[in-house]
Structure 1
Amino acid sequence: MNPTENSQSLFNLPASPQAQREERGLESAQFPIAEGNQVAATASTSGEVSGGGTLSSPQSAERASSPPAAMGGESSGEASGNQAGEVAEPEYPSQGVLNEKIVDLVRFLLIKFRRMELATKSEMMTRAMRDYEEYYAVIFSKASECMRLIFGIEMMEVDPFVHSYFLYPALGITYDGMLHGVVGVPKTGLVIIVLCIIFIEDNCVSEEVFWDVLNSLGLYAGMDHFIFGEPRSLITEDFVQEGYVEYRQVPNSCPPRYEFLWGPRAYAETTKMKVLEFYASIVKQDPRSYPEKYAEALREQQERA
């Protein structure tokens, strides 16, 4: 499967308040984490990045990239003789092989982000795309999309002559979370997902609905996730301590119930409009396609001006 397949349906944002009430907001959302087991790379304590999963086994990749056997019992000599004078068409690499190269590039970019180093085109081609340099454009495009959707890391070209790129957390967020959960893996993507859930659910989401959404993405309280670690402590402790999330008891609830809101650092570093635009860019829609949320984000933007 393509690592960014179905990227246009990563979120199922309700198109209307009625749909939002009926669908319970983002309970059936499809966030990038659901694709994480195919493109993610996890960091080891040694400082390097080891693969958290591959899209196809080396054996299947070898099979996909090897030439087909001669048909009809012809020997290779007979086959080549029969095809004398014909010009062989260039063979496009299989999707499995390209996916492996995308994963390799994601791993390389995660190392660059951790080391706070620029990533250059020549280095990416040498380190992650050897023998597949001609497919640089598609591999780079998919890898950068994975970095953004899963890890919340943007890439900005800082030198168009050598094509060097600076990697930084998206949406103005200054937290990368690499010291929390699985050490060395950026958690900005999870922060963005949490902020999106809260924003779409009218800026305050019950703990039950919140975990229903995360459960659908393969994140379960009390269970380690191979990219992020144990999500409950990460969100209710680390994200709260960092100021991105407020986790509070519902007033007068008995037995006690809890809810999630944006924290003060989230309001200080990003905006509802940025979160909505991030979502809209994923599903390739105009933010105005969601008029109520757009109007709310616009009001906040005008109030800050």
Structure 2
Amino acid sequence: MEPTENSQSFNLWDIPQEQIEERGPGDDQGPIAEAGEVETIAAISGDESAGEAPSSPQGAQSVSTPPTDMGSVAQAPSDNPLEEMPDTEFPSQGELNEKIIDLVRFLLVKFRRMELTNKEEMMQRALRDYEEHYSVIFSKAAECMKLIFGVDMLEVDPFVHSYFLYPALGITYDGMLHGVIGVPKTGLVIIVLCVIFIENNCVSEEVFWYAMNNLGMYAGVDHFIFGDLRSLITEDFVEEGYVEYRQVPNSQPPRFEFLWGPRAYAETTKMKILEFYASIVRQDPRSYPEKYAEALREEQERA
């Protein structure tokens, strides 16, 4: 099968552009600085370019964050009240991205330690002086944790907003001992399972890497978060039982293909994978009627 034969699905992957933020060894931020293995992470940006400050306070409105002092807006005499407000009322997109990064780094430490965290702790350790923008920063950081690292956040106490972090979609493998040590690989496992499922549950190596290339992931090129992708997928994920990597029977020269492994079938479902995929491409799972019907049949068979 040619790579373009079923490539439409992967043109729909609409993952926002990533920003690499490097922290030097001198950046002592308490528990955040202890995430030594995670020197670069991705921050999900808004409409502005990652790290690029808007040219005016109006530009920062893309963050959808209310002004700190609503009264000052009501009393401003200008036709455009935002022009009369000092720049400090709106943090730039770059500043918000930095705080998203700080919060993700903090959450990664909590995940590694299997510790609960809460809003107060997040404010004190990662978001000090940004309380007004907590909801925006937290939602983006939670999205980053799930889409990139495959880590979900369960609110266990709504009164203090405390959260437990755990691998998403029922998968029990975090992959922190493989590839780049200390970085969760559950998100990569989920992406691999998505590619295989969308490509009719069995995908040739050529088509698989074509799809991964469209996501900025290349065999033989270390990924800036996960490391050696080929080794992770064809060795570690295979050894852990999430992926089957086999030679196509009677192929000369030898060709290989990818399938779900037994542990993937045991721990997650096609419906969960489809819903995850649909959330990335911002579609309803029913937008893929054949895949939705297949996933629904599997759920009915499991019931």
Q: Same fold (TM over 0.5)?
A: yes
Alignment of 1:21-32 (within 5 A): 22-28=5-11, 30=13, 32=15
Q: Retained in 1: the 8 A contact 2:35–2:108? A: no
Which letter maps to 2:133?
A: Y
Deviation per CA, 1:34-90, whole angstroms, max 9, x where unpaired? 74444799xx996545441687999x76x989xxxxxxxxxxxxxxxxxxx999536
Question: 2:22 & 2:243 partners in 1: Cα distance?
Answer: 25
The alignment-based identity, stated in percent, is 71
Alignment of 1:214-233 (within 5 A): 214-233=212-231
Q: Retained in 2: the 8 A contact 1:174–1:269? A: yes
Deviation per CA, 1:78-136, whole angstroms, max 9, x where unpaired? xxxxxxx9995362111111111111111111111011111210111111111111100
* Residue 15 (structure 1) aligns with: none
Alignment partner of 1:292 is 2:280:
no
Question: 1:202 & 1:57 partners in 2: Cα distance?
Answer: 35
CA 141–47 in structure 1, closer or farther in 2 if over 3 Å, else same: closer
CA 286–50 in structure 1, closer or farther in 2 if over 3 Å, else same: closer
CA 36–152 in structure 1, closer or farther in 2 if over 3 Å, else same: farther
Alignment partner of 1:182: what SS?
coil
TM-score in terms of structure 2 length: 0.78
Question: 1:101 & 1:46 partners in 2: Cα distance?
Answer: 17
CA 175–47 in structure 1, closer or farther in 2 if over 3 Å, else same: same
CA 39–300 in structure 1, closer or farther in 2 if over 3 Å, else same: farther
Question: 2:226 & 2:154 partners in 1: Cα distance?
Answer: 25
Alignment of 1:1-305 (within 5 A): 22-28=5-11, 30=13, 32=15, 35-38=17-20, 47-48=35-36, 50-52=38-40, 89=85, 91-305=89-303
Q: Which has the higher contact order (CA 8 A, sep 6+)?
A: 1
Q: Retained in 2: the 8 A contact 1:148–1:189? A: yes
Aligned CA-pair RMSD = 3.1
Question: 2:34 & 2:162 partners in 1: Cα distance?
Answer: 26
Which letter maps to 2:95?
A: V
Q: Retained in 2: the 8 A contact 1:40–1:103? A: no
* Residue 65 (structure 2) aligns with: none
Task: State the aligned residue count.
Answer: 264
Question: 1:299 & 1:132 partners in 2: Cα distance?
Answer: 47
CA 150–223 in structure 1, closer or farther in 2 if over 3 Å, else same: same
Q: Which residues of structure 2 form unaligned runs of 5+?
A: 24-31, 44-48, 58-76
Which letter maps to 2:299?
A: Q
Q: Retained in 2: the 8 A contact 1:27–1:212? A: no
* Residue 10 (structure 1) aligns with: none
Question: 2:42 & 2:258 partners in 1: Cα distance?
Answer: 34
Deviation per CA, 1:132-169, whole angstroms, max 9, x where unpaired? 11100000011100111101110010011111100011
TM-score in terms of structure 1 length: 0.78
Q: Which residues of structure 1 form unaligned runs of 5+?
A: 1-19, 66-84
Alignment partner of 2:300: what SS?
helix
Q: Retained in 1: the 8 A contact 2:38–2:183? A: no
Residue 280 of structure 1 and its aligned partner are, at CA, apart by 2.0
* Residue 8 (structure 1) aligns with: none
Question: 1:28 & 1:54 partners in 2: Cα distance?
Answer: 21
